[in-house]
Structure 1
Amino acid sequence: MPKRVRIYFFSLLAFLLFLTMASCSSDSADNQFPEKSIQLIVAFSPGAATDTQARIIAKYAQEYLGQELVIVNKPGGGGQVGWNSFASTAPDGYTLAAYNLPHIITQPLVSDTAFELDTFEPLVNWGGDPTVFAVPNNSDITSLEELIKKAEDTPGSITVGNAGMYVGQHLATLLLEDSAGIELESVPFQGAADAIASVLGGHTDVVSGNLSDIYRLGDEVIPLAIATEERHAFAPDIPTFSELGYPEVIMSTDRGIAAREGTPEEIIEKLEEAFMNILEDEDFLAEMEQAGADMLILNREEVIEDMQVRTETYHELLKSIGVMD
């Protein structure tokens, strides 16, 4: 064999051997996943519903994932700060995000965000949390009817705090404005915890919040209405917007966990299986119930289908209330 041919032959053989070893190394890494702790970005303040529930999930991670799940709070912009950060992370399964719907669908439609819906590879959905309007227990507003009457008499005078622009609670406010023909003053905060602190401190008149948060506040607030089709089992005394004459006001914040787009399929499958096992654990479910968390458990395939439907629904909603053309 001529020298030039031998050199070419051995170079090609070395290259093929390198590719094989690299592939084996990658497969081996995927098979051993996870080998270290996993971070879960929560894009809202500590103490709010998403954070509270994510921390309950984290308690069970060691048992089912084999590694610690570390909560990393990155609040701001109704979740945009945390999710923008998530968009630049490595797709290796070691940094996940707690997602909120409709937030990750609606915000890229109306804002300049670093993330798109496709940034998220959903693993599981763990909960749904209906929107509730509530006032502090010393408020001169004690019913939705009184709120609407005051808004009619003095447009824009009632301030309604929420967890950020174009999150579910803000959309509920826009829906009520459109349905009742009134003008409210929406006040976005970094997260639900800040919105609640504001209304309890008398700085805003109303909070458009999550049922789980309002539920935990007990007698500190007076719930005015809940944005569900029927009264909720957790709080059957709260009337629905629908029964009060505003059937268009249906909204909730749904929560789940996602990996970064581009994460290897084998890692995604391992993560989905582990989190589904957590969500089926009886002790975990009991803790979530005690926290006032309404469970809405969906696997990866079900979440993907749900997000596709929701994208069309929210696009039409934003158009119908004049937010989009």
Structure 2
Amino acid sequence: MIHPTASGDERRSVRIREVGPRDGFQNEAETVPTADKIALINALGHAGLTRIELASFVRPDLIPQLADGVEVLRGVDLPAGTERMVLVPNGRGLDNALRQRELFTGQALFDAVTLFVSASETHNKKNINRTIEQTMAEVAVMGGRIVAEGLRFCAVVSTAFGCPYEGAVPMNHVLDLAERFVDAGAVEVGFGDTTGMANPAYSGRFFAAALDRLPGVEVTAHFHNTRGQGLANAYAALEAGCTSFESSFGELGGCPVPAGATGNIATEDLVSMLHEMGVETGVDLPALIDAARAAQSILGRPLTSHSIVAGPVVWAGR
């Protein structure tokens, strides 16, 4: 028996960026030992995840869970060609990132940098204590520096699908910010459902519009599963033409600003859904599930992805 796939899906493929090592670990109550982080990241890379967000250059007193970012970057052993991404919140963070990169010239600590802004003024102020305009003015400068260093400049617009403080966020406002990132040199723009307020109908309309407004730019979907709609939103984005996604093993993560903002969609659940639809990811799903299960032992608690419990789908005769 051949497993069912949606008509026309068999030859599609997508790119997935694993964000658990940064977006996931930063929301853990206790710091994960550096050696355990490195082992998990290596397992994720060897499971076929070729794009991984490894660290963030933020003040260690603000996010102590990521204070070992340089040690992680230096310690991982990933397959050749794996994209190593770091996130920086401001010019000072970029200074630190580039300084560390210069110190270790014999080792490619990272090759992609993400800058971000919230589409909501209130969320941006609560998150990084700056207005949107202050953030974007700095982005214009930082973007040029990233490009000049030969690094891949990626951007994220957070609260793109709604804000718990301000409510609905106009689509045109979100896409205007995306275009400003592109003008600053970004080759990829991700749109974050930071607190899980998206729904599939709007997600489909949004990504159709984003792909139309941003030709030649990699448009990436970043959904959270706060209200259980994460995979449905990812499917809607896929059907609208989106072929780039971010997710986190074990459904780790969540925005640290508002209460109740739970984790990202689980990478293993996303990969499982895509594979059953005949969409290629390049990921070894059983190996990915093994890595997520190992994370449970390290964290000392069960994680919330479905695939950790159920495992991959097995069809009789496959």
State the TM-score, normalizing by the size of structure 2. Answer: 0.26
Q: Which has the higher strand share?
A: 1
State the TM-score, normalizing by the size of structure 1. Answer: 0.26
Structure ID, larger Rg: 1
Q: Pick 1 or 2: higher relative contact order, CA cutoff 8 A, min separation 6.
A: 1
